[in-house]
């Protein structure tokens, strides 16, 4: 079928484009929506006369159009008060309703409509090409059946206020190196100019030039890959996004569409044209990395961050400090990092800045943690007064004002390094017995009419106040909620870990929650299979939509007792990718069917993609994670 879209606002984008599926139509309309985003944000009343749509030469749809257009909000309606980040999404919903009418009508006509579940030609003939070998699975997509070649000299064209961002330009160079890793070795530069390629450039349009990376930043994008044939609104390859971080996610998806053809020794995109509209399901998609139990060099932390971007994870929870070691430099209290294992296993302030900036260039926030008062024995190596006594080294001394002076100094120094609005204050596994058995602490408790439990609450709430004063939102492990939920600051984000059923209780109390059930999302538990990671649902048991919105997302945890530089990546991947798709993709799209048939082949493929990119991801189906293969086989079968 053909759809024509005419509007004076769209000039010069008068469109006549062949539409072969509902998904393709929906995404093309989305492209037009993107171009109008800034204008609509400034003048929402423009929706009164925004578009006139009709099916070319087809009178059957005229009555349907008028009924759909009648739903456009009138001036002064509640729509006018929607924040600027939302108008385009609201308008897209209207377009979806309109397109649904068209597609239902055409479902009864003789015009074929493609299936919504699509595939692309894999590099191995063993793979099921009815599946979608993109990870994580995009929100909406459509495709054709053509093959397009990609120029090794692929160039970047940018548009919009944020398209020329250094974040976009550097990402383009990184992905170009990934995409053409093979072809640069094989292609003779003397003959390259004679070849004719279907895709010679990719245009990245970014609406906003605001590069602030914050919780809930818009990561949505549209990606189009199509031939320039005179009938399509798409020209070769294009990404459109509201922010640079949406553009990053689009570039990752584009890189996964590109495949090296060993026969022609060229990079190709199969099953073109592609029309993809994508956005994450959860705003917080995290990975905890523990550098206290085993020190990880900066380059290893960077490798982990790089690999996170391939799975569209967006928060590295840096568990820098714990009872075993204190490796971070704190200028206000310079003896604290005497608690490092050795003088060579430390992070300078400059190291921490480097990690934060490296992560930002990949759209990843760093959420730092100091786990207080219970996991802090290493603090006393440099400042013994932080210990209640030489035989009671944790929890930190609640009776000593110096303890809170040090915490204040740490938070002040770390606030200069970590801009992310969430800061983790720990609060788990606090055994207060030695407080009660240490004379001066016991006297302080009696003086303040407190039990050990009361003092635990006092300590946590005081630390929360310190963080909030510094414009941080406090995150605490779930024991704080389990012990004194009614006293927690209303801004508190509760981090689940002990087991299931916690987030439903948290959100029912009006607090926000991060899901990390240790029985299914702890990477150091080597017996947890990829299926458990994949099937675990953060919204399980939460049916109220307002309460569901309080679940920020989830986080897989790489605790470091048995992981160091030699095996940390093998322990993280590929199981973390299973959780990453759960956190990104639509629940209904990934929760149906037999995952051994619909997901496992795709996870095999993504694991092999990680290997090709230099990430030592372990086999998917091993009985124990990170163990080597049990025998000869293809990467796609292990």
**Which residues have a catalytic role annotated?**
429
Residues in CB range of 105: below 8 A, 6 or more apart: 60, 61, 64
From residue 245, alpha-carbon distances to 308, 355, 599 in Å are: 14, 17, 26
Query: Is 124 in a helix, a strand, or coil?
Result: coil
Spatial CA neighbour of 399 closest among 364, 357, 450: 450
Q: Extract the tokens encoding 166.
A: 């250094």
Query: What is the H or E stretch that residue 274 is in?
Result: strand 266-278
| Spatial CA neighbour of 374 closest among 476, 443, 527, 526 | 476
224: three-class secondary structure by DSSP: strand
Strands 365-368 and 315-319: parallel
- Virtual CA dihedral for 402, 404, 405, 409, nearest 10 degrees? 140
**Alpha-carbon gap, residue 358 to 241, rounded angstroms:** 21
First-last CA distance in the chain:
44
Tokens 């956005």: give the residue.
279
Distance CA 579, CA 311 (A): 10
Distance CA 107, CA 22 (A): 10
Are the C-beta atoms of residues 425 and 464 closer than 8 Å to each other? yes
Q: Which is it for strands 15-18 and 2-6: parallel, antiparallel or unpaired?
A: antiparallel
Alpha carbons 359 and 354: distance in angstroms, whole number: 8
């Amino acid at each position: 079928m053909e759809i024509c879209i005419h509007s004076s606002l769209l000039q010069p984008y008068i469109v006549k484009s062949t539409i072969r599926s509902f998904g393709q139509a929906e995404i093309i309309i989305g492209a037009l929506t993107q171009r109008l985003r800034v204008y609509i944000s400034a003048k929402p009343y423009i929706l009164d006369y925004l578009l006139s749509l009709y099916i070319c030469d087809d009178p059957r749809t005229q009555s349907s159009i008028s009924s759909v257009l009648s739903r456009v909000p009138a001036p002064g309606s509640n729509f006018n008060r929607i924040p600027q980040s939302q108008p385009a999404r609201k308008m897209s919903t209207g377009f979806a309703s309109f397109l649904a009418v068209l597609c239902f009508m055409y479902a009864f006509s003789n015009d074929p409509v493609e299936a919504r579940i699509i595939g692309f030609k894999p590099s191995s003939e063993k793979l099921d090409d009815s599946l979608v070998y993109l990870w994580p699975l995009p929100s909406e997509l459509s495709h054709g059946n053509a093959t397009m070649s990609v120029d090794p000299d692929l160039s970047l064209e940018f548009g919009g206020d944020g398209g020329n961002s250094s974040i976009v330009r550097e990402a383009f160079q990184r992905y170009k190196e990934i995409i053409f890793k093979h072809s640069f070795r094989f292609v003779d530069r003397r003959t390259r100019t004679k070849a004719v390629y279907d895709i010679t450039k990719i245009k990245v349009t970014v609406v906003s030039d605001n590069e602030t990376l914050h919780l809930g930043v818009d990561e949505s994008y549209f990606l189009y890959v199509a031939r320039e044939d005179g009938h399509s609104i798409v020209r070769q390859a294009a990404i459109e996004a509201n922010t640079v971080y949406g553009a990053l996610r689009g570039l990752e998806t584009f890189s996964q569409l590109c495949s090296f053809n060993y026969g022609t020794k060229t990079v190709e995109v199969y099953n073109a044209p592609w029309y993809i509209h994508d956005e994450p399901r959860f705003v917080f998609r995290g990975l905890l990395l523990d550098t206290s139990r085993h020190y990880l060099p900066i380059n290893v932390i960077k490798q982990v961050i790089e690999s996170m971007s391939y799975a569209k994870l967006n928060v590295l929870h840096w568990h820098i400090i714990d009872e075993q070691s204190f490796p971070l430099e704190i200028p206000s209290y310079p003896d604290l990092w005497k608690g490092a294992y050795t003088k060579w296993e430390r992070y300078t302030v400059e190291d921490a800045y480097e990690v934060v900036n490296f992560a930002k260039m990949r759209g990843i926030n760093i959420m730092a943690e100091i786990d207080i008062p219970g996991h802090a024995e290493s603090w006393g190596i440099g400042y013994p007064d932080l210990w209640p006594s030489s035989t009671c080294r944790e929890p930190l001394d609640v009776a000593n004002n110096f303890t809170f002076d040090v915490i204040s100094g740490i938070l002040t120094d770390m606030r200069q390094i970590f801009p992310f609005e969430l800061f983790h204050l720990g609060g788990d596994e606090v055994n207060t017995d030695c407080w009660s058995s240490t004379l001066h602490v016991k006297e302080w408790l009696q003086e303040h009419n407190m039990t050990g439990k009361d003092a635990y609450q006092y300590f946590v709430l005081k630390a929360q106040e310190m963080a909030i004063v510094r414009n941080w939102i406090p995150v605490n492990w779930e024991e704080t909620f389990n012990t004194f939920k009614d006293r927690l600051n209303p801004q508190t984000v509760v981090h689940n870990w002990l087991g299931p059923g916690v987030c439903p209780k948290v959100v029912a109390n009006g607090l926000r929650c991060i899901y990390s059930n240790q029985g299914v999302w702890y990477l150091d538990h080597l017996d947890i299979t990829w299926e458990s990671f994949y099937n675990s649902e953060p919204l399980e048991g939460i049916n109220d939509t307002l309460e569901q919105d309080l679940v920020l997302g989830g986080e897989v945890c790489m605790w470091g007792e048995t992981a160091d530089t030699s095996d940390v990546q093998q322990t993280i991947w590929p199981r973390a990718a299973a959780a990453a798709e759960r956190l990104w993709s639509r629940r209904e799209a990934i929760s149906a069917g037999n995952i051994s048939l619909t997901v496992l082949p795709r996870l095999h493929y993504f694991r092999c993609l990680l290997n090709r990119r230099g990430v030592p991801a372990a086999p998917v189906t091993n009985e124990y994670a990170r163990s080597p293969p049990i025998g000869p086989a293809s990467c796609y079968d292990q």
